């Protein structure tokens, strides 16, 4: 418990966080006290009495209490240092010893326990009193003692400042770590909230779709079933009436089918139609990279055209074939693909960093690409050199694609 309290005091003082500094202070203080006591015993052994023991005990208790208990209380520290200076003067004048070590701890505490100008004033007063106390010593001894105290003050101040900077940095790091943890928690909460919103949106959309199916498709199918039952009964009695009902029923079924198609188009937004081909290629690249480890980069212009299913399928197969050939024949580990939608053409360029070849043999893969692109009225160009990879360029004319797109919509 005592050690815990001491450690807590040191931590509050700011040196418990740095064990090397705390050891330096405690060991330095204890060594100074030991040298001070031995100096009195050795040099003035015959003059040591009970009064001397009491004075030394007061000196030791005073600086130990100041350091371990009242180190955060500025005025108590100043009062304790003044008391220590008085005790040092009385002890040295009556019992002698090594004058430097009487003031060693005072200077040490003045540097570590006090701040700013107050620290320099106290240490300046301490040096002045030391010079006054040991004035009977030689000039060289006085100069060496003063120099040693000044060096001690400078080094102690430097150690204290470095320690304070380190503690501030550690505190800042702790705050940043706490902020990071809070940010991570907030991010997780936000993700959970987003997932719950997404799930709720999906449930609402499913509920809307089921309601639409029940109200439109379900109603239409029920009507058709009723009409079919009526046709079955009337056909046995009057064929012409049954034919008229069947004709009306066919028209009704046609209109119902159109409603279903309209509902499907509403569920499938226009933006999806526009980006369906690119989304399919992105999914292909994602799966290919995951399975093979090949780094595939896909880029495209901001402006895009709407591609129908056939066109998207051809582009998908061309990219798939190129990726397969790049890995199987070229041993490539990186592929760049860019889709340029300009005014007249869709230009797809594909380049890998594979082995390449000076003589390209048009095998099944390239033939398949040629055939698929030709179906859309496009052109294929390729180029390859040894150790320079393989380059493929596909150009699809916008007008040809527009005509085919219109034909596709009519058939649809």
Please give the average per-residue pLDDT across 181-201, as a whole number.
80
pLDDT 10s digits, 84-128: 888 888 888 887 777 788 888 888 888 888 888 888 888 888 888
> Among residues 371, 279, 369, which one has the least CA distance to residue 324?
369
Q: pLDDT over 70 for what percent of the chain?
A: 76
Architecture of the CATH domain 199-267: Up-down Bundle (1.20)
Where do the structural domains in the chain lie, given as residue ranges? 2-137, 199-267, 270-411
User: What b-and-e string marks burial along 55-72, b requiring 16 or more CB atoms within 10 Å of the CB?
Assistant: bbeebbebbeebbeebbe
- The rounded distance, in Å, linking the Cα atoms of 218 and 216 is 6
The architecture of the domain spanning 270-411 is 2-Layer Sandwich (3.30)
DSSP 244-289: HHHHHHHHHHHHHHHHHHHHHHHHS-HHHHHHHHHHHHHHHHHHHH
Longest dimension (CA), the chain: 148
Q: How large a percentage of the chain has pLDDT more than 90?
A: 9
Contact 288, 294 (CB under 8 A): yes
Q: Cα(first)–Cα(last) distance of the chain, in Å?
A: 86
Residue 150 has pLDDT above 80, yes or no: yes
Question: How far, in Å, are 6, 63, 115, 344 from residue 3 at the CA level?
Answer: 5, 18, 26, 84
311 is written with which tokens? 């066109």
pLDDT band at 190 (very low <50, low <70, confident <90, very high): confident
User: pLDDT value at position 338?
Assistant: 93
| pLDDT of the residue at 349 | 94
* pLDDT above 70: residue 238: no
d(CA 333, CA 327): 7
Summarised one tens digit per residue, pLDDT across range 288-321 is 898 888 999 999 888 877 777 778 888 889 999 9
Q: What is the pLDDT of residues 30-79, one digit of tens each?
A: 787 887 777 777 766 566 778 878 888 888 888 888 888 887 888 888 88
């Amino acid at each position: 418990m005592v050690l815990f309290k001491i450690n807590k005091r040191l931590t509050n003082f700011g040196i418990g966080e740095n064990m090397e500094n705390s050891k330096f202070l405690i060991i330095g203080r204890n060594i100074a006290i030991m040298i001070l006591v031995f100096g009195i015993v050795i040099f003035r052994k015959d003059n040591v009495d009970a009064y001397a023991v009491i004075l030394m005990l007061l000196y030791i208790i005073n600086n130990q209490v100041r350091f371990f208990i009242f180190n955060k209380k500025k005025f108590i520290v100043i009062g304790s240092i003044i008391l220590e200076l008085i005790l040092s003067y009385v002890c040295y004048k009556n019992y002698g010893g090594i004058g430097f070590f009487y003031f060693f701890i005072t200077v040490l505490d003045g540097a570590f326990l006090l701040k700013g100008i107050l620290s320099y004033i106290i240490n300046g007063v301490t040096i002045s009193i030391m010079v006054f106390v040991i004035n009977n010593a030689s000039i060289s001894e006085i100069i060496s003692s003063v120099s040693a105290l000044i060096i001690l003050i400078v080094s102690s101040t430097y150690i204290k400042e470095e320690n304070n900077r380190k503690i501030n940095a550690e505190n800042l790091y702790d705050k940043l770590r706490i902020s990071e943890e809070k940010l991570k928690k907030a991010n997780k909460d936000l993700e959970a909230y987003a997932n719950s919103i997404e799930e709720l949106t999906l449930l609402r959309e499913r509920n809307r779709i089921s309601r639409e199916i029940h109200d439109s498709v379900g109603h239409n199918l029920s009507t058709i079933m009723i009409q079919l039952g009526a046709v079955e009964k009337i056909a046995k009695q009057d064929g012409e009436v049954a034919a008229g009902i069947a004709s009306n029923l066919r028209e009704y079924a046609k209109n119902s089918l159109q409603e279903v198609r309209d509902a499907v188009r509403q569920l499938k937004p226009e933006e999806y139609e526009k980006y369906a081909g690119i989304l399919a290629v992105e999914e292909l690249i994602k799966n290919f990279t995951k399975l093979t480890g090949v780094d595939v980069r896909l880029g495209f212009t901001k402006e895009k055209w709407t591609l129908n299913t056939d066109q998207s399928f051809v582009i998908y197969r061309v990219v798939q074939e190129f990726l397969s050939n790049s890995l199987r024949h070229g041993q490539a580990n990186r592929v760049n693909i860019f889709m340029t939608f300009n005014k007249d053409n869709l230009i797809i360029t594909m380049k890998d960093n594979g082995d390449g070849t000076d003589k390209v043999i048009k095998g099944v893969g390239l033939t398949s690409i040629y055939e698929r692109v030709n179906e859309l009225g496009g052109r294929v160009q390729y180029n390859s050199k040894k150790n320079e990879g393989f380059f493929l360029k596909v150009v699809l004319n916008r007008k040809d694609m527009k005509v085919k797109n219109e034909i596709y919509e009519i058939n649809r």
